[in-house]
Amino acid sequence: MPHLRAPATRRERQREATYDEIVEVAARLLDEGADLSLRAVAARMGMTAPALYRYVASYQQLVDLVAFELDKAATAEWAEAADRFPEDDPAARLAVACARFRQWALAKPREFALVFANPVAEADTERRDLLTLSTSGHYFTDLLWQIWEIYQYPYPALDDLDPVIRASVLDPLIPAKADHIPPEQRGLLWVYMRAWSALYGVVTLESTGHCDPRVIESGQLFRATVLDWLGPLGLHHERERITKILDEELARP
C-alpha cells in the first residue's frame, strides 16, 4: 500500500499562503518600480517588519525566496508555450522557450535582474547551492540533453578541457541534471554552460538597454545568437524550420 502524505495542518497552510503573498507583493513592487525591502513588503501586507522576520529573516532571504519563485513561475509560462510542439521535438521547444525567456526579460527587467543578477558566487555554501536549483536552468539544460539524445551533437572529451573546466563538469555547480551522464560524457556540461552564456549574455544586454535600441527592437542580435547555435547543437538541417519558429515568436506583440 503506498505511503500517503499527511494533509497539511491549518498552520502549515497559513504559512504557505503567507509565503505566496510575500512573493506576490514583492513582484508588484518590482513591477511598480518601487524599492524591494522587508519594510516595504511588510507594509503592503499590513504587517510589521519584525512579524515578517518569522518568514524571512533577512533581506537576502527575501531576495532568494522571491527570485526562486519568480523564476519558477516564468519557466512554467515558457514551458506551456513550448508545449505546442510534441515532446519528441525538443529543438522547436527550445526555440520557443528562448524567445519567451527574452520576452519576459524585456517586459519585466526588474524581475529578470532579481533572478539573474542576484550574486551567489561568493556566498556561503547554502546560497551557492541555489545555483543548482534554478527552475529555468533545469528546463533549458533538459532540452539540450533531449536534443543531444536525438542529434548526437559533438562535445569535448574530458582530456581536451582545461583542468578547471574538467573539474567543474565532473562536480557541477550549475542547474542541470548530471547523474545520468557518465563521467566520460561530461563534456556535454561544457556545451550547456557555453550555450547558456550566449543566451543569457544577449538577453541581459537587451533587457538592460546596453545595446543599440534599434537592434533590440528588431530582435536581430538575439535571432543571430540563437541561430548561431544551431550548428553546435547538430541542427544544421533544421535551420529553415527553426528560423521560421523563431521569427513567429519574435513577431508576437
Is this prediction's pTM over 0.85?
Answer: yes
pLDDT in tens, 17-66: 999 999 999 999 999 999 999 999 999 999 988 899 999 989 988 999 99
Distance from chain centroid for Cα 251:
23
In this predicted structure, the answer to whether residue 5 has a pLDDT above a threshold of 60 is no
Domain ranges, ordered by start, for the chain: 1-57, 71-250
Query: Up-side HSE of residue 10: CA atoms within 13 Å toward CB?
Result: 0
How much is the pLDDT for 247? 97
pLDDT in tens, 153-186: 999 999 999 999 999 999 998 899 999 999 999 9
CA distance 64 to 48: 20
CA distance 16 to 14: 5
DSSP track, 77-102: HHHHHHTTS-TT-HHHHHHHHHHHHH
Band of pLDDT at residue 1, cut at 50, 70 and 90: very low
Q: What number of other Cβ atoms are within 10 A of residue 70's Cβ?
A: 23
| Mean pLDDT rounded to a whole number for the chain | 91
